[in-house]
Every structure is written in structure tokens, then in C-alpha cells.
Structure 1
Amino acid sequence: MAYHFLFWAPYGVETGTSVLYRLLPLLDMFFMISGFFITTRYQARVGDLASYGRFMRARAARLLPLHYVITLFFAAVALLAFAMGAPNYPWRHDLAALPFHLLLLHALGTTDGLALNYPSWSISAEFFCYALFPLVLIVLRRGGLAALLAAIALWIGVLEIASARGWFPSGHWMTADSMGAYRALADFMIGAATAVVVERRLLDVRSHWPGLLTTALVVVAMLAGCDYYVVMPLMIAALTLTALAETAAPDSTAMLAPLMPVTRVAFGIYLIHPVMEFIFLEVVWYHGLRQMNVIDFYVFWTLPMLATVVVAVLSGIYFEPLCARMLSSRKGGSPRAGPGLASA
């Protein structure tokens, strides 16, 4: 959120964005954690087409309502820009990308760059991983962890070849976004492999200190500008060590419970912040307060940040659970939606 908001700042843009850009590998951690939780939760529950359908329906109920609402918001903005003849708003580009956003294909290289709600490429990438989740399970069930590790190595090899041939607009698969589904699949499979390591307790780690120290190394490596080939192994180690410690003593993180009202809506914050960026920074700041010189940007930008968190919390309490209850199947043993957000 801060990274995207900084581009509206009148000063400090280059310094701030260059530092925050180094944290980009955290997106890979997101997909790894997704693969970890999905495998942990659904590994034994997806075994045929019916259970796969229930799985996909549950994931759609969790992720799609907010995605569609925000996508349609930006589609409406694009239509308004078209009607007003706004010369600097990319309405043509946004409207051309709308069908791919609605079909969740916009992270597969179907669009010319990011459009509409630009962070939602990760939703498209997630559903690409969900669609291929049965293949991950087939590999695990027939060949075990070794086969999954071999599949990960093979896929990364394919991505490296594709990068060398210039197939990714960003230059390399590890920084892909409009083609980020292929990057996400590698991370997702790594998370799935981590879930197997943790489930089998191939390492007996019970203290959180190894995970915390490795996480600190990840942050230091990112801020130092270390190569992805250094950061990614550290990130995998941090996830594995942390998961081993927490599963060994689930109550050990009970002290973090007061943070849950905010941390559990991280997905909402991620998707909603471009809406607040448009309202507060493009409309209110850029076309209004910027010329008036009545408030410093770095004071004002706390307002869209707070608004993003508040709206995400309210969405997590009311809108998303309501949609989940409406869309989730009650038949065939599908899990019932809880009073709050579904787990990751």
C-alpha cells in the first residue's frame, strides 16, 4: 500500500519506492503460504471431481466477491473517464482488459500490462494454482515429496528458460505480474512441499527463534538488494521453520490474537487500497489539495491508509462472510462458513 501511494508524493518518491520495491519477494511468500495452507487443509479432501468442485466453489466464495466489486468500480471509473473525454486516463486500456479480469485470465499474459484493479493479478494467479491443485495432489500421492520436489525443479527450469528467451515483460519470471500466474505456481508448489515437510515433521523444530532469525535474515537480504536466488531459499527456510514451531505448539502464538482483527483482513487491504488511492490521492489530493498547499502529503496519506484498513475490516465482518454464505455449497460435506472470514 505504501509503495503504491508513494507515487503520488511531491518529494521522496525515488528514495521511498526504491527501498520498498526491494520487498517485492514478499509476494512470493504470499503464494508460498497459500500453497502451504491449501495443501494442509485440502490434501485429504480433494479426491474426485465432486470434491474438487466443492474446493473451487469454496475458494471462489472467499476471493471473488471483493475482486468483482472492485473490478466493476474501476470499470465504472473508466466509463466515466470515457464519457468525460479524460485525455490522461487509460480508459481504453482498462475496458479492453475487463473481460480478462472477469474471467480471471489477466495473470496469464492475456493483457498488455496491469489494468483496472492492478493488484488483482494475484487473484488470477491464485485461481490458476487452484485449478492445477489436483495435479499437485496426484504428484504427491503417486511419487511423494521427492516427486513434488522434482516437479518444482522442472517447472522452475522451464521458467528460467522462458526468462532467458525474453518471454516475461518484466524481464524475469520472479518479477512477473501480468504473467504472474506462472511465477505463482512455482511458489504454490513450494508451499505445498513445505506442508508435507511440516506434516511429516522431517525436522524437529519446536522453538520460534530459528524461524524469527531466518525471517530477519530475509528482511535484511531484501533491503540489501540481494538477488532472488539468495532471498528465496531464506524465505522457504523461514516459512518451514516457523510452521514447524507453530504446529509443535499451536498455543505459542496466542499472544498475537489481539492483532487478528487487522491481520486477518490483509487480503482485503491488498485489494481495497487502490480504491482509496483513486479517491483520496488522485481525486482529492492530485486534483485538489496539491495545489492548495494546506497539508503535507505525508500527513495526508495516513487518511487513505486508515480508510483502507477500516473498509477492509468492515468488509471482513459484513460483506465477505455474507457472500461466502450465499455462494458456498452446504451439500456434500462442504465446510460451513464461520462467523468471520474463512481461513487462508
Structure 2
Amino acid sequence: MHDTDGTRHQDGLRIIAAGAVVILHYSDYFKDVPVGRFMVAHTWHFNLFVDLFFVVSGFVIARQYFGRVNDAASVSRFLWRRLARIYPLHLATLAFYVALAGALHFGAARTDNPARYPLSDIPAQLLLLHAFVGERLTFNFPSWSLSAEMFCYLLFPALALLAQRRKEAIVALVIGTALANSLWACAAGTTPWADWINQGGGFRALPAFSLGMACHLFREQIARWPAIPGALAASLLAFILFGSLLPTMTALLAIYVIALLAVQADCASRETLLLKFGFDRWSSLTYSCYMLHIPVATVVITLGSRLLSLSPNERLILAPVAIIVLAVASTLSLRSFETPLRRYLTEAFERRATRPAPAPAISRQESPR
């Protein structure tokens, strides 16, 4: 009998994916030196690890909430819990950059990219709409994926209801949304949909999120797939090293395959090389690391290099410093900010939801005395 509820391989992949995104974005800070240019050229495909987040999210959300969001109260509880998880840190990092934008406006700071801080983009950021109507990548720009995730969360109750009637409909949704994205990209002449971020990022996320849902719904069948020893670790390593040689959509397909291999290993309760390295032990830091790595880079790399008047080559020493600061900041954020605030918001919702209705007032005529 297989334990189809574990997610250790997916958890391990999440923290690896977060680390890859950090490497991609931090490389861009050093593109003025040869090693930075080399890294930028050979890590562009790391941006597709965000799509792996979407697959894992679909699996985990289906695992936790499938069959539990079937009325208005349960849907409200689900959406509130998701907001309590993602919104506080998003709001905190947005506030950091809005404060920085204020400092730029009053001349207390300077930047080489003032277009990154448009005040007109704040409403979309606050409403988590910036994967659709964002002007460009602004403020804490990795947060576009939160907007895309929220789009999937809003659709999840309807998708779960559909899946309860016919599981195969979710597989059709994976294929249908991927085809619709491809047709739109061709008709509108956009970039490949795997590159959609602030203009259509939610539609980019939907096939991956639906794939994760489908994997949960068919987990017992997936557990019986024939296993290829070492396939997960080998495919992940090959993607990291050589993914930059692939066309964008082929690289996205590779990410989906890696996610499926991780799901298969979890569903079959197999031990793989990925688990032996213990990456899953750090998975709880994934979101903190993802959301904080750009603010940390702003402070440590950008401001630090200016304060210390470092040359482009000297700035390289700030890369390991930023990674250490990020590890510490992520741990503190998770323990001292995100978790307590999430618990508070969840408990506040539950108290309000379970509060007894006030007794109807008794008129003088109805008084028992």
C-alpha cells in the first residue's frame, strides 16, 4: 500500500527552485563583469522554476482542500487562509519599496532604474492584479507570481467542484489552457506564453496549477507508473546545466516532466537521491527566500556597493554576503513575522466565523414578564 500523501520530493524541489531563482536574479546584479555575464547567459531558464512552484501548488492545494470547498463558508475560509499565507510578506516587501520610492522622490536616494517604482502600479500590487495589469516588473517584482497564484486560488473551488463530477475534466483543462495560451501567443504575436509575467502571468500559471491538481486526482495511477532509477536527479541536473540550450517552450515541458517525476516518487513513497541530500528539510523557507531575495539584494548589493564605493569586480564579494543575509532574513521572517501573523489572521477568521448570532430582541409585548 503506497503512502500517496507525502510531498517530500516536491518540497525538496521547491527549495531548489527558489535557490535557482535567487541565482538567476543575483547574476543580473553582476552583469558588468565576465562571470556575471556568463551566469546571466546560462541561467535564463531558471525563471521557469516558477512554473514548478505552480505545479506543486496545484498538487498541495488539491491535497489539502479537495472536497472541502463546497459552500460559501468553506470557500471563504480557503481564500482567507491563502491570503493569510501570502499577503503579509507581500505587503511588507511592497511597503519597503514604496518607502524607497518616496526616498527617491525627495532626493534622499538615487537609482539607475526609476521606472521600477511607478506609483500608478500600487493599486494593482495591493489587489494582487499585477500579473495581469502591471505596467512592467515593478517594486518587489518576483511577487507577480503571487498574483498568478491568487488567480488559480480563486478558480480552485470551481475546478474542485468540476473534478468531483469528472476527474478527467482537469486533464482536459491542462491541455486546453496550454493550447489556448499557445493560440493566443501566435495570434497576438506575443512572446511564448512561458515568458508571460505582468501581462498574462495568471494564464501562464493555470496549466501548471491544473497539472498539479490532476496529479493529485490520479495519484494512485501515477504511483503504479514504472520507475526509472535516478531519473529525477538526472533530469533536474541536466536541466540546471543545459536548460539554457533549449527553446523556451521545450524548457517549460522539461520543468513539467521534472515535476511529474517528483510527484511519482512521492506517490510511490520511493527514496531517491534527492531525499538523501535532505533538501526537503528546508522547504518551509521557500516562500520567505523567494519574496525576500530582491529586497536583500537592494540593500546588500546595490546600496552596499555604493556606500563602500566598490568597483564592479569588488562588488562580487557582496554576492555571498547577500546569500548569507537572505538565509538569516528568511528564517527570521518565517519564525517571527509570517507564522505568527498567519496564525493570528486564521484564528481571527475562525472566531468571527464561529461567533454565535445575536439573539433577536424581545419587544415589550413579547416580554415574558
Measured against the shorter chain, the TM-score band is 0.7 to 0.9
Q: Structure 1 residues 124 and 209, CA, compared in 2 at 3 Å: closer, same or farther?
A: same
Whether contact under 8 Å (2:69, 2:75) holds in the other structure is yes
Deviations 1:206-226 (A, max 9, x none): 676333334344445514x21
The residue aligned with 1:98 is: 122
The residue aligned with 1:302 is: 320
Deviations 1:195-236 (A, max 9, x none): 22224446345676333334344445514x212443334333
SS in 1 for 2:350: coil
Share of identical aligned residues, percent? Answer: 23
Q: Hey, what's the Cα distance between the residues in 2 that align with 1:210 and 1:7?
A: 31
**Is 1:156 matched up with 2:175?**
no
Deviations 1:123-154 (A, max 9, x none): 11110110011222133122222x22222222
Q: Structure 1 residues 278 and 241, CA, compared in 2 at 3 Å: closer, same or farther?
A: closer
Whether contact under 8 Å (1:8, 1:286) holds in the other structure is no
Q: Hey, what's the Cα distance between the residues in 2 that align with 1:103 and 1:254?
A: 38
Single out whichever of 153-162 and 200-209 deviates more from structure 2. Answer: 200-209
Instruction: Please list every run of 5 or more consecutive structure 1 residues that lacks an aligned counterpart in the other structure.
Output: 335-344
Whether contact under 8 Å (2:223, 2:265) holds in the other structure is no
Q: Greater RCO between the two (CA within 8 Å, min separation 6)?
A: 2
Report how far residue 22 of structure 1 moved: 2.3
Report how far residue 87 of structure 1 moved: 7.2
The residue aligned with 1:107 is: 131
The residue aligned with 1:195 is: 216
Whether contact under 8 Å (1:125, 1:184) holds in the other structure is yes
The residue aligned with 1:222 is: 243
State the Cα RMSD in Å. 2.7
User: What pairs up with 1:7-22 in 2 under 5 angstroms?
Assistant: 7-9=28-30, 10-12=32-34, 13-22=36-45
The residue aligned with 1:39 is: 62
Q: Hey, what's the Cα distance between the residues in 1 that align with 2:116 and 2:184?
A: 30
Whether contact under 8 Å (1:206, 1:249) holds in the other structure is no
Q: Hey, what's the Cα distance between the residues in 2 that align with 1:24 and 1:62?
A: 23
Q: Hey, what's the Cα distance between the residues in 1 that align with 2:257 and 2:305?
A: 42
* AA of the residue aligned to 1:151: L
Alignment equivalent of 1:331, drawn from 340, 347, 350: 350
**Is 1:312 matched up with 2:326?**
no
Whether contact under 8 Å (2:289, 2:330) holds in the other structure is yes
Alignment equivalent of 1:212, drawn from 230, 233, 236: 233
* AA of the residue aligned to 2:47: L
Q: Normalising by the residue count of structure 2, what TM-score does the alignment of the two structures yield?
A: 0.79
Q: How many residues align?
A: 325
Higher radius of gyration, 1 or 2: 2
**Is 1:55 matched up with 2:78?**
yes
Q: Normalising by the residue count of structure 1, what TM-score does the alignment of the two structures yield?
A: 0.85
Deviations 1:302-341 (A, max 9, x none): 1111101110011111211111111114639x9xxxxxxx
The residue aligned with 1:239 is: 259
Q: Structure 1 residues 258 and 139, CA, compared in 2 at 3 Å: closer, same or farther?
A: closer
Instruction: Please list every run of 5 or more consecutive structure 2 residues that lacks an aligned counterpart in the other structure.
Output: 1-21, 354-369
Deviations 1:103-129 (A, max 9, x none): 100001x12211111110011111011
**Is 1:281 matched up with 2:301?**
yes
Whether contact under 8 Å (2:54, 2:212) holds in the other structure is yes
Whether contact under 8 Å (1:70, 1:275) holds in the other structure is yes
User: What pairs up with 1:62-101 in 2 under 5 angstroms?
Assistant: 62-84=85-107, 86=110, 88-90=112-114, 93-101=117-125
